[in-house]
Amino acid sequence: MSPPTASVVPHQPSNINDSYVKVLAESSTLQSVPSQFTFAIDSKGSNSDSIPIVDFSQLTSANPDQRSQALRELATVCEEWGFFVLINHGIPETLMKAIIDTSLEFFDLPEEEKRRYEAKSALDPIISGAGSVITTANQRIHMWRDFVKSDVHPEFHCPDKPQSLRDIVFEFSEKSRTMARKLLQGISENLELEEGYMDEVLQLDSCFQKYAVNFYPPCPQPDQAIGIPPHTDYGLLTFLIHNGIAGLQIQHNGEWFNTNSPHNSILVNTGDHLQIFSNGRYKSVKHRAVVNDEATRISVVMVNGAAPDAIVGPAAPLVERDGRALYRPMKFIEYVEKMLSNRLGKGNLECLEIIDES
């Protein structure tokens, strides 16, 4: 007689709050949003033809007139929107597709594989899970999304599986870093800072980058759940691409706008550290991810920041020009830790605001 085969018991989360949203969404009996996810929201955003587009090839053009024009446009979009659609950026379409497809495969891995990266601390270099957040109203919200994140610079980390992920994420992070540096160079010129000042103060050669993937399964009641509630991002510039399913909304003049992105474009938003560094000139844009009842949406995000150890405060020449600093300086990585462990709670930027009592 052959020995009995061990019965394989699939991982049963001890508590529904532990469950991956993907597993929940795939359950054939799910018809409404479980109560712990309930977050009533009017998810219909406005559409606008005026969401800005920045042409990267003009920003890097050898033609000085073309470049000056592109720089002026960049200054306006950073001041007025904090968000733009980047086109002609030069990242190959094959790489964009590969990172979306391979990131998607991560969520099909066996649960044990994904649970290897469950967070032990906010600064773990690789984290995967399904997250909940505390809002300003002290409410715990379960977001309708699963995620995986890894730090990719200055140290490179990446989940072991899917096997091809490592090379793809490495290449994408390198290319997006080069792009981030060029955009920041343009921003630095627009802020009339001396060449090299920003690179040196923010130690951009060792800049922090995080790769993050958000996986939003179809939701039976999209107006009763949220992918990610309204928040701003830490860092200087966030890049985002997705699988063609809309869901990112940005706040502009108090109104929520749907973002759409032409084929092969990259969505860029300004982060808290750019607001701090620019002494409030460039606001970190508030955004959220809404869900839908038809198709799985995936977004691949690359956060671009200063070096982990760089102290980020308002740029000294701007403080001099403005007569005062609007924010207290803080080490980049301390801010990230603060934000991740209290994510989407009280605005982190508010903690650094210097109130003028004069």
Chain positions contacting ligand AKG, by CB under 6 A? 212, 214, 228, 233, 240, 247-248, 287, 289, 299, 301
Q: Which does 236 bind (CB under 5 to 8 A by kind): Fe ion, ligand AKG, none?
A: none
Q: Least Å distance between CB 231 and Fe ion?
A: 6
Select 73 or 272, whichever has its Cβ closest to Fe ion: 272
Nearer to Fe ion, 19 or 231 (CB): 231
By the 8 A CB rule, do 293 and 220 touch?
Answer: yes
CB of 319 to ligand AKG, least distance (A): 29
The Cα–Cα gap between 114 and 121 comes to 16
Dihedral sign of CA atoms 202, 241, 249, 339 in order: negative
Shortest distance, CB of residue 284 to Fe ion, whole angstroms? 10
From the list Fe ion, ligand AKG, none, partner contacted by residue 127 (C-beta under 5 to 8 A by kind)? none
User: What is the nearest approach in angstroms of Fe ion to the Cβ of residue 344?
Assistant: 9
DSSP 338: H
C-beta of residue 145 within 8 angstroms of C-beta of residue 130? yes
Q: Which residue is nearest to Fe ion (CB)?
A: 233
Q: What is the DSSP secondary structure assignment for residue 4, as one 8-state letter?
A: P
Nearer residue to ligand AKG within complex by CB, 60 or 261: 261
DSSP 196: T
CB of 27 to ligand AKG, least distance (A): 23
Provide, rounded to whole angstroms, the least separation between the CB of residue 287 and Fe ion: 6
CA geometry: angle at 304 spanning 299 and 307, to 5°?
A: 150
Q: Which is nearer to ligand AKG, 214 or 279 (CB)?
A: 214
User: For Fe ion, which is the closer residue by CB, 188 or 249?
Assistant: 249
Q: Which residue from 233, 298, 305, 313 is in contact with Fe ion, where contact means CB under 5 A?
A: 233
Q: Binding to Fe ion (CB under 5 A): which residues in 79-108?
A: none
Size of the site for Fe ion (CB under 5 A): 1
Number of continuous H segments (helices) and E segments (strands) in the chain: 11, 14
Pick from ligand AKG, Fe ion, none: which does 184 bind, CB < 5 to 8 A by kind? none
Instruction: Report how far apart, in Å, the C-alpha atoms of 351 and of each of 122, 137, 295 are.
Output: 19, 17, 38
What are the DSSP E strand ranges found in the chain? 53-55, 83-87, 126-134, 140-153, 209-216, 228-231, 237-242, 248-252, 255-258, 266-270, 287-289, 297-304, 311-312, 330-331
Q: Does residue 146 bind Fe ion (CB under 5 A)?
A: no
CB atoms within 10 A of CB 64: 8
Residues that bind Fe ion (CB under 5 A): 233
